[in-house]
Structure 1
Amino acid sequence: MIGNAEFKFHPIGQGCFYSGIIHVDAAKFHLVYDCGTNSPEHFLLSEIEDYKTMMAGNPLDLLMISHFHKDHVNGVFKLLRGLTCKNLIIPYYPPIERLILALTADGTDDDYIEFLKDPVTYLYARDYNIERIIIVGGPNDNQDSDQLINREGVSPEDGITPGKLILQMDLYDDEEIEDWVKRNEENKERYLDPNVKFLKKPYRVWLPYWEFVFYLEKYDEILLVEKVSTEIDTLIKSKNLSISDLFEKKYLKELEKIYKSYFTNLNNTSLVTYHGPYNNTANPDQMICCYSTYVHDFYWRSLPTHCCGTLLTGDIELERLASIEKLKDYYKFYWKRICYFQVPHHGSENNWNRTEPNGLHEFPVYIINHGLGRKKHPSLEVVKYINTHCTNGIIKLCNEAEKFEYGCEFIEKL
């Protein structure tokens, strides 16, 4: 056996805390996707403490934040305290979009508003030991799924050093992003810091035998964002302010009126993450290794050997068929490898298409993160749809009382 991988949706209620560890020979690689909750905080705090105990001083090699809503990030700051984080991956949202997010954060604490104001500066200004922040989105941000297979000549063994798995990626040079940063960010120096990098398209990072592929769906309400931006620009000029000033509470109250005149919800964008065994070909049957996938203590021997990938969706909007088609097109070389599918936005009715067929029928496992006693998360209609139409799969609920763990083993192909 070359190695194995173990993953866990932690029992924290309404939110998401997902972790994993990948072993290749004696080397280990630790990862986390999101860490936050809207449920009673002690569930999340207990899981964070247990996770840190398990880490036993090892670095967190990769932390991925899907988006900046509180129930996905409010545990990140506690998680980072006392840990070394080698790579933190976040989606890029322009200052105006971060301001709009702040307007939706009712009754939120000052720290969270400071984070939204400038996440990079916030994270580096604290005592967190973050070696590198990697931003997805930004320069030339139009996605192209055809680039996803352009990895000829890369060996899965690349990146193995004694006792370590080295994360590899294609990043923009500082000169390539300098003009873009100056046009888009007020705190230009921080975003041009040598430890802040922007990921090139295709949005993919990889390890020996394992890879991560990111998809960042932008707001569809772009015209509404532009209208809000126009009104905010008027306010900035009339009072001689900067956009950073508007994150102060006295201005946020004033801006709420502008926001509410255009939006009822702005909750449909996330950094979607596929991760699974590495493969440098468009044909999923031509694998470099053989894999077996399992949940807890039993093996699913009937699964195809190539089907053990995971798609983490955060709060992405999949209510419209057009959104589903865009996602499927982007991941067309990975779609048949997905075994574990995180149902977006905790099973919300507004984030799931319920026409038949909706294109999301083929996954063996549907994971829904939710809080016990919530009225709309998960929606009974969404659960009913998956149970009725996605007949080759099972639903696994993850909440304050239920975790979900799974993994796979990979061996050399004969």
Structure 2
Amino acid sequence: MKMIRTFHSIGHGGFCTEEFGDFTMVYDCGGRNLNVINYEIEHSFKKNQIIDALFISHFHRDHINGLEYLLKNYTVKRVFIPFLHDNQKIQVIVENAINIRSDSFTNNLILNPVSTIQENSKNGINTYVIYINSGEGDGNNLNKENLNIESINSNISNLDSGTPITISSSTLTYNWIFIPFNFEYNIWADKIAQALNTIDVNKDNIVQKLQTKRSQIIEVYRNIHNGENNFNSNSLTLYSGMINNSLNILRLNNLLFYPFNHYSHGHVGCLYLGDYNSKDNRSWLQLHTAYSVYWDYLSTIQIPHHGSANNYNEKLNSRSNIFSVMNVNRHSNHPHASTMKYILLNSGYPVIVTEDSCTRYIEQIEEL
């Protein structure tokens, strides 16, 4: 078995890839600087590259604004996205408007994801879009049957959270799975939608109304959050790793400024968290329960929301020797000092990836 896992140097955002020789997975595809993310995409893939699976954590622009370029220039077979209710779509559109004025592709993607993806895809209608239904993280997913990714076609439009997706690759001698989970938070979305409805703003006119009532809409949003920008939308999490913890020794090569080897007995899994809010006890328990079978298989965790103290829970690093990756800009407030402190106190390895190419973080995983 041989696989290359990369956290790409796009600064504040998310663009991660796993390449198994003849199988490629992408998790998120965006960054604050559009030129930087498009450059990184172009120089990461061959011209005829096939993307077998693309997982989108959520629809904030810093995680998806490279998607249009990726779809138009490469063959993307399957796109997995969190299912959003109408009120959640309104919430995300407003949050993007607060951060930066949204473009038409992003708004269309949120409102009509299937048609927007297929109309912009080099692969057209042969790019299958699969919604991941919301789940509670109560452990009911742990007994779900495996689903081979090659069986996912136009007949499958939705999957339950926690469905183990297996892959086929000529380089794999072990069973490898992806487990996406869409943890749902409706409380804020419902409150925002109800408040906006009082000023005649809804899903059908939100984009138009942002042109004429932008300040008023943003004020309504901030009043709901007591004057703060509290961006806690749905975030699709993803486990990528082996089905079971093999006793065979695997070598994990990590490149960060300089190469070094880290030897592992099967601990080669990664947990991608996007902007998931693991801070409060309920959210942490949901996350841990959903992935409880695989928690001890992890070697790497993408620390949520770029290391923000508002999203980080030190229990993420309850196991020692976890490579804790954070994508940030060179000049920003991320990661928070307390996040760095708890990673180190728990004998973790903080990995900071900026827009500088020398910080690109690569793990080469292979059987000895």
What TM-score, normalized to structure 1? 0.76
How far 1:300 sits from its partner (Å)?
A: 1.8
Partner of 1:340: 300
Question: Within 2, Cα distance between the matches of 1:90 and 1:224?
Answer: 20
1:315 matched to 2:275? The reply is yes
- SS of 2:270's equivalent in the other structure is strand
Question: Within 1, Cα distance between the matches of 2:15 and 2:188?
Answer: 32
Larger Rg: 1
**Number of aligned positions between the proteins:** 346
Question: Within 2, Cα distance between the matches of 1:275 and 1:242?
Answer: 37
Partner of 2:16: 18
Partner of 2:23: 29
Structure 1 residues 128 and 251 mapped into 2: Cα distance closer, same or farther (>3 Å)?
farther
Structure 1 residues 292 and 371 mapped into 2: Cα distance closer, same or farther (>3 Å)?
same
The one-letter code of the counterpart of 1:306 is G
2:290 corresponds to which of 304, 308, 330: 330
Question: Within 2, Cα distance between the matches of 1:146 and 1:242?
Answer: 34
Question: Within 1, Cα distance between the matches of 2:36 and 2:316?
Answer: 35
Partner of 1:42: 35
Report Cα offsets for 1:95-149 as digits up to 9, x if no partner. Answer: 21111111122322233222222222222233542521111015xx444424324
Partner of 1:294: 253
Question: Within 1, Cα distance between the matches of 2:251 and 2:143?
Answer: 23
Q: Map of 1:171-250 to 2, 5 A cutoff? A: 194=154, 197-208=157-168, 209-219=175-185, 222-233=186-197, 243-248=203-208, 249-250=210-211
Partner of 1:68: 59
Report Cα offsets for 1:287-313 as digits up to 9, x if no partner. Answer: 396533222453322x3x221100111
Instruction: Give the 4+ runs in structure 1 shifted more than 6 A.
Output: none
Q: Map of 1:48-87 to 2, 5 A cutoff? A: 48-52=41-45, 55-87=46-78
- Asked whether the 8 Å contact 1:66–1:90 carries over to 2, the reply is yes
Report Cα offsets for 1:303-357 as digits up to 9, x if no partner. Answer: 3x22110011100112223322221111110000010111110111211236xxx
Question: Within 2, Cα distance between the matches of 1:372 and 1:266?
Answer: 22
Sequence identity of aligned pairs in percent?
A: 24
Question: Within 1, Cα distance between the matches of 2:122 and 2:155?
Answer: 13
1:262 matched to 2:224? The reply is yes
Partner of 1:365: 323
Partner of 2:313: 353
- Asked whether the 8 Å contact 1:64–1:88 carries over to 2, the reply is yes
- Asked whether the 8 Å contact 1:168–1:207 carries over to 2, the reply is no
- Asked whether the 8 Å contact 1:13–1:372 carries over to 2, the reply is yes
Question: Within 1, Cα distance between the matches of 2:107 and 2:150?
Answer: 31
The one-letter code of the counterpart of 1:137 is N
Q: Tell me whether 87-96 or 360-369 shows the greater mean CA deviation.
A: 360-369
How far 1:364 sits from its partner (Å)?
A: 2.4
The one-letter code of the counterpart of 1:406 is E
What TM-score, normalized to structure 2? 0.85
- Asked whether the 8 Å contact 2:79–2:130 carries over to 1, the reply is yes
